Amino acid sequence: MRVLVIEDNDDLRFAVTAALRGDGLAVDEAADLPAADEALFVTEYDCVVFDRMLPSGDSLDYVRQLRQNGRSVPVLFLTSRDQIADRVEGFTAGGDDYLVKPFAVPELIVRVRSLCRRAGTVTPPVHRVAGLEIDTARRQVRRDGVLLVLTAKEYALLEVLAIRADQAVPRAELIEKCWDEMAEPNSNVVDVLVSQLRRKLGAPPLVHTVRGVGYRLAADGTDGAGSGR
C-alpha cells in the first residue's frame, strides 16, 4: 500500500514517514501543496495524509477541489485544529478521517491502514493458498498452522500477491505498491525480497516466477506465460 504525507514541519514529516514505513507501507512525502499536486498527478495512492494548514494554503480547499475533480483517494487530515466545527469542516470538504495533534503513532498507523483498505477492492480478511493463511486484519501469516515471522516489507509484498492470488503480478506493480519513490525501478529489490520470502514460506514453493512478467502466488506453479522458481 502506498501513502503520500504532506506536512511542512520537517521533523514531524520525517517522524510520520518513518513510522508508516516501519509498518511496511510505501510512503512518499511532500512539504507543500504544489509538490503534493505533482505527486498525485503521477502516482496512484491508497491514502493521503494532509497537514491542515500549510504555507502554500489550507489543504481543505485543495481536497475540496480534488473531490470536485472526481478524485476519490481517501484523505486523513492531521492538524492541531481540534474544535468540532473544524472537524465538521474537514469532513464536509471531502476528508475521510481527522486526527488531532498531538497524536499517538499507533493510532495514526491504524487509521491510515483502515483508509488504505477502503481504497482497494473489497477482499476477504483472510486469504488462503494451499496451507498458507494470510490474516490481513491481524497481519499474521501461517503455513500449516505455524506462525511465520516476516518483516514488514515481506508481509507487504505477500499481501499484494495474496490479493491477486493465481494471477501474475508485474514487478513494476509490486514496486509501485510496496516501495516508495526512493526505490530504483530497475533494481533487484523485488527479486531479493521474493527470495527471502520463499525461504520463510518453505516447501513446496508457493511464490512462482512468471518469466518476463513478475511473480504469482499459487499452489500450482504452472502459468501460460511460463514460470519457474
Which of 73, 95, 119 is a domain's end point? 119
CB-facing half-sphere around the CA of 105: CA atoms within 13 A: 12
Alpha-carbon torsion (73, 160, 150, 153), positive or negative: negative
In this predicted structure, what is the pLDDT of residue 216? 92
Bigger pLDDT: 30 vs 224: 30
CB atoms within 10 A of CB 20: 24
Instruction: For 104-143, give the DSSP string.
Output: -HHHHHHHHHHHHHHHS----SEEEETTEEEETTTTEEEE
Range of weakest confidence among 51-55, 57-61, 187-191, 222-226: 222-226
Q: Which residue among 119, 139, 162 closes a domain?
A: 119
What is the rounded CA–CA span in Å between residue 228 and residue 121? 29
153 and 88 housed in the same domain: no
* Residue 35 host element (H or E): helix 33-42
143 and 217 assigned to the same domain: yes
Cis peptide before 124 (omega within 30 of 0): no
C-alpha cell at 11: 521533523
Q: What are phi and psi of 165, to 5 degrees?
A: -50, 140
Say if residue 184 is exposed, middle or buried (CB neighbours under 10 Å; 0-12, 13-18, 19+).
Answer: exposed
CATH number of residue 23's parent domain: 3.40.50.2300
Is the model more confident about 226 or about 221?
Answer: 221
Per-residue pLDDT tens for 52-79? 888 888 899 999 998 888 888 899 998 8
Number of structural domains, the chain? Answer: 2
Model's pTM, two decimal places? 0.64
Does 30 lie in the same domain as 131? no
Q: How many CB atoms lie within 10 A of CB 195?
A: 12
Q: Domain range holding 166?
A: 126-228
The reply to whether 115 and 136 lie within a common domain is: no
